[in-house]
Chains A and B, each alone.
Chain A
Amino acid sequence: MWDFIAERHRQILYDGFQHVYLVVLAVVAATFIAILIAMLVTKVPRLGGVTNMLSAIGLTIPGFALVGLLMPATGIGSTTAFICVCFYAVLPILRNAVVGLQGVEPVLLESARGMGMGEAAVIARVRLPLAWPVILAGIRVSLQMSMGIAAIAAYVLGPGLGSYIFTGLAQIGGKNALNYALVGTLGVVLLALILDLLLVLVGRVTIPKGIRV
């Protein structure tokens, strides 16, 4: 195992980086998409039920099936992987963003307006900061999920550590099969834990002082 890693450490590091890069990019994009949709829902509360239902349906569709559905449109490679990861990444964030933004007390919004804040300022300085801890919790769930989905997307030649798992599968019986599968699986777990820790730190820094628990 150590020889295996030592021999290939550059390649493994590179693929691990690619994995993280794909997931982080997708989750960041997903965060923007989710917050935008959630703001729309806050404006038009009737959309709330529909959004919840669509995200429940979306989460039910297996990742591998979505890969199959996307392939004809987006082909083999990282585009498919990115869209697939991004699709799932939006859902948990969206759910929490809707709850978070709607959960801001009307009294606070009222007083913000009373202080003379415009609509944009109310969103940027009151709504978003107050909803942020809940949104961040959604981002953490989303990130964990995305790491696994990115591994599946490797079947259609998406970038990252998933390819090690599939190489291990293809070489079963060979001497390196276990090494490949272990590096792929444990690599993803390790990176997921590191990213989660980083998000906790992000929370420390970005959650406004007044509402820290």
Chain B
Amino acid sequence: MTTLDPTVATPEKSVRRSRLRPAGGESAAMLMVLPIMVAILFIGYVIWRQTADLDSIEESTLAWGAIWEQLRDHIAITLVASAIVVVIAVPLGILLTRGRARAIAPAVVAFANAGQAAPAIGLIVLLAIWLGFGFWTGVLGLVIYGLLPVLRNTITGLQGVDPTLVEAGRGIGMSAPQVLLRVELPLALPVIMAGIRTALVLVVGTAALVTFIGAGGLGGALTSGINLFRFPVMVSAALLIALLALLIEWVGRVLETVLRPKGI
């Protein structure tokens, strides 16, 4: 039995590690492959769009002007919501690893985990019934949805910092805020960034649903495609949404690599 125990501990540990920070090789490959893939598919779409034989409804739904506007709205709502997520979740995560608040951190994470089971579309519709249609209702829904990964990873990242390093920081005369800013946060940054990337992907995907409550985005073209039962519109819109999501994921990976402190 004693020989078996460590065997199980190893995979469990590596699961956690691989979810928080992907192996270097995979990340590097994704950094290369993603933009090329997105570019090829987008060029393919442009060529198809310019040459395809579309009827007047398809022509107007897929007009470049309309698509650009939806794309712009989609990116705008994604960035606004993600920024708010970071501004709320990172300080909250820091707070939950300080002093007495440490005790309630597991409860907060468990609650947030359970909340994650709520379907995004249900949350968005409920918010719309409560607050009315519009951009900011959409933002609120996306923020609620994106909070958990950043919060969880901020807490895990800070808890994962070697206590001896914190001790050493205090030992050379740093104050608590200094230790936080110059030792703990830099060391936890890779894990926090992984959480932010996860949140970005969640938010950009969920943003395809805010068209239902009048907050714009590429989901608009997709729903018209489905409602009018036009395959070209459906597939085009779905493809563009997927490409945007992949591009945002790539941006997240770039940020992760660029912001990773040297020496880690």
Asked if B162 is at the interface of the complex by the 8 Å CB criterion, the answer is: no
What is the CB-to-nearest-CB distance from B203 to chain A, in angstroms, rounded to a whole number? 10
* Residue of A68, A131, A144 with most partner-chain B CB within 10 A: A68
Instruction: Report if B67 contacts A (CB, 8 A).
Output: no
Q: Is A27 an interface residue (CB 8 A)?
A: no
Residues in chain A near residue B213, CB distance under 8 A? 169
Question: Can you name 13 A-B residue pairings with CB atoms under 8 Å?
Answer: A60-B205, A62-B208, A64-B241, A65-B239, A68-B234, A69-B238, A71-B226, A152-B119, A168-B125, A181-B125, A185-B118, A193-B117, A211-B7
Tell me the complex Cα distance, A31–B7, Å. 22
Q: Give chain B residues whose Cβ lies under 8 Å from the Cβ of A184.
A: 119, 122, 125
- Whether B246 is near chain A, meaning CB under 8 Å from some CB there, is yes
**What's the nearest-Cβ distance from chain A to residue B175, in Å?**
39
CA distance A188 to B115 in the complex (A): 11
**Interface 9-residue window, one of B22-30, B87-95, B96-104:** B22-30
Residue of A nearest to B241 (CB): A65
Given contacts A65-B245, A68-B226, A165-B121, contact A210 B208 (CB under 8 A): no
Closest to A165 in B: B122
Quick one: which of A66, A108, A147, A165 contacts B117, CB cutoff 8 A? A147
Contact stretch, chosen from A7-15, A35-43, A95-103: A95-103
Contacts from A to B (Cβ < 8 Å): 49, 52-53, 56-57, 59-69, 71-72, 95-96, 99-100, 102-105, 108, 130-131, 133-134, 137, 144, 147-148, 151-152, 155-156, 162, 165-166, 168-169, 172, 177-178, 181-182, 184-185, 188-189, 192-193, 196, 210-211, 213
CA distance A105 to B239 in the complex (A): 42
Q: Are A103 and B14 within 8 A (Cβ)?
A: yes
**Which residue of the partner chain B has the closest CB to A103?**
B11
Tell whether B120 is near chain A: CB-to-CB under 8 Å: yes
> Assuming the A-B contacts A49-B29, A60-B201, A162-B121, are A71 and B231 also in contact, with contact meaning beta carbons closer than 8 angstroms in the complex?
yes
Q: A72-B231, A168-B125 are in contact. List 5 more A-B contacts (CB 8 A).
A: A60-B242, A65-B239, A99-B15, A185-B123, A196-B117
Q: State how many angstroms separate the Cβ of B35 from the closest Cβ of chain A.
A: 13
Which of B122, B225, B238 is the one whose CB lies under 8 Å from A66? Answer: B238
Cβ of A185 and Cβ of B119 under 8 Å apart? yes
Q: Do B11 and A65 have beta carbons less than 8 Å apart?
A: no
Say how far B55's CB is from chain A's closest CB, in angstroms.
16
CB contacts under 8 Å to A, within B157-203, are 201
CB-CB contacts below 8 Å: B219-243 with A? 219, 222-223, 225-226, 231, 234-235, 237-239, 241-242
CB-CB under 8 A from B245, the residues of chain A are 60-62, 65
| B contact residues, total (Cβ < 8 Å) | 58
Q: Are A151 and B117 in contact (CB under 8 A)?
A: no
On chain B, the residues within 8 Å of A147 by CB distance are 117, 119
Q: What is the bound-complex CA distance between A147 and B116, given in angstroms?
A: 11
CA distance A65 to B1 in the complex (A): 48
CA distance A211 to B249 in the complex (A): 37
Interface of B is mostly: helix
Residue numbers of B with Cβ under 8 A of A are 1, 4-5, 7-8, 10-12, 14-15, 18-19, 22-23, 25-26, 29-30, 33-34, 37, 114, 116-123, 125-126, 128-129, 201, 204-206, 208-209, 212-213, 219, 222-223, 225-226, 231, 234-235, 237-239, 241-242, 245-246, 249
* With contact pairs A64-B205, A103-B11 given, residues A177 and B129 touching in the complex (Cβ less than 8 Å): yes
Inter-chain contact A64/B209, CB cutoff 8 Å: yes
Least distance between B178 CB and chain A CB atoms (Å): 37
Q: Which residue of B lies closest to A152 (CB)?
A: B121
Which of A61, A131, A144, A196 has the most CB atoms of chain B within a 10 A radius of its CB? Answer: A61
Q: Is the CB of B30 within 8 A of A65?
A: no
Q: Is the beta-carbon distance between B222 and A162 smaller than 8 angstroms?
A: no
Closest B residue to A207 by beta carbon equals B8
Q: Do the beta carbons of B235 and A69 come within 8 Å of each other?
A: yes
Cβ of B201: which chain A residues have Cβ within 8 Å of it? Answer: 59-60
